[in-house]
Amino acid sequence: MFDDFFIRALVAGIGVAIVTGPLGCFVVWRRLSYFGDTLAHSALLGVTLAYSFQFNIAFSVFLISSLIALILIKLQKRTNLPGDALLGLLAHSSLAVGLVVIGFLTFIRFDIMGLLFGDILAVNVTDLLIIWLGGGLILLVLKIIWKPLFASTVNYELAEAEGLNPDRAKAVFTILMAALIAISIKMVGLLLITGMLIIPAAMARNVSDSPFKMVLFSIIGGLLSVLIGLFSSLEFNTPSGPSIIAAALFLFILSLFRIKQSIQLKN
């Protein structure tokens, strides 16, 4: 039978995959992958704050990521810099500041590799609760804002003209992204979390012809990645976070054959 830590890792991974599926689709549709990266990078600062002031890590990461999102919106209004330059500025400076702060906290022993690439095997029962309760809440809120968010993803002006309030939906979605990064940082780490969002969704795009199917396949792809990744990490003694992302990549490559087939069928 599996060791306890492995079961916990599986339960955590499954919980995260169910949430990253639908959110990842929106990240792909709305071209937010770099935005997700920026929020994830800033999470390091959140973690250091949590250690310094004895906060809960997820809570502290959520606060810092939301703050960074807010700063981004302000900077977009105040400067003439393009969005990607601002994102790069925030991503790398928050990562750097986080690492500098760690340098000051010599009295705490940090597992830097665990922070960057995740340490799913160290997940405890509190983490599981945070993942499943937080994840459930994220999905519930996403369901509530689904219509305006989706409509404005297709066409902002249609959504606005027909009274769906897309700006509010966008703001709420930003908060959901910050929350997702907060609950999943421990599992895949801050450098790989965006991969967990994008790769299953990208795989799903290759095999779906409707938004609903894409969300469904994205969840399935995420679940399979977690299962394959974790079992192979156990089998080959590889790091678990990167193994999950590598499994997702493997599924994406498989999905490419499906596209090739459907293109051939058309001709």
Partner 1 sequence: MSSENILVKLDKVGLKQNNKWLVKGVTLQVGKGKIVTLIGPNGSGKSTTAKIALGIYKNIDGNVEKYTNKVGYVPQKISIDWTLPLRVNDFMLLTENLKDDEINKALSLTGVEHLKNKNLGTLSGGEFQRVLLARAISKQPDLLVLDEPVQGVDFTGEIALYELIKDISDKLNCGILLISHDLHTVMSATDHVVCLNGHVCCSGSPKDVARNNEYKALFGEQASQTLSLYEHKHDHTHDHDGEIKKN
- For partner 1, which is the closer residue by CB, 80 or 237? 80
CA separation (Å) from 103 to 44, 55, 109, 259?
Answer: 13, 19, 10, 48
Report the C-alpha gap between 229 and 192 in whole angstroms.
Answer: 13
| Closest to 22 measured CA to CA, from 155, 30, 125 | 30
Q: How far is the CB of 147 from partner 1 (least distance, A)?
A: 7
Rg, C-alpha atoms of the chain: 19
From 40-48, 56-64, 201-209, 247-255, give the range in contact with partner 1 by CB under 8 A.
201-209
Q: How far apart are CA 228 and CA 152, in angstroms?
A: 35
Contact window for partner 1 (CB under 8 A) among 70-78, 112-120, 206-214, 250-258: 206-214
Rounded to the nearest 5 percent, the helix, strand and coil shares of the chain are 85, 0, 15
Report, in Å, the least distance between residue 135 CB and partner 1.
24
Query: Least distance from C-beta 198 to partner 1, angstroms?
Result: 11
Decide if residue 10 touches partner 1 (CB under 8 A): no
- Using CB under 8 A as the binding rule, whether residue 162 contacts partner 1 is answered as yes
Q: CB under 8 A: which stretch of 7-15, 156-164, 184-192, 235-243 binds partner 1?
A: 156-164
Task: Please list every residue from 26 through 45 that binds partner 1, using CB under 8 A.
Answer: 28-29, 31
Nearest CA to 176 out of 19, 14, 15, 48 is that of 19
CB 22 within 8 A of CB 218: yes
Closer CB to partner 1, residue 41 or residue 205?
205
Counting residues that bind partner 1 (by CB under 8 A) gives 25
Of the ranges 24-32, 35-43, 106-114, 133-141, which one interacts with partner 1 (CB under 8 A)? 24-32
d(CA 188, CA 107): 26
Q: Return residues touching partner 1 (CB under 8 A).
A: 28-29, 31, 147, 150-151, 153-155, 157-164, 205, 208-214
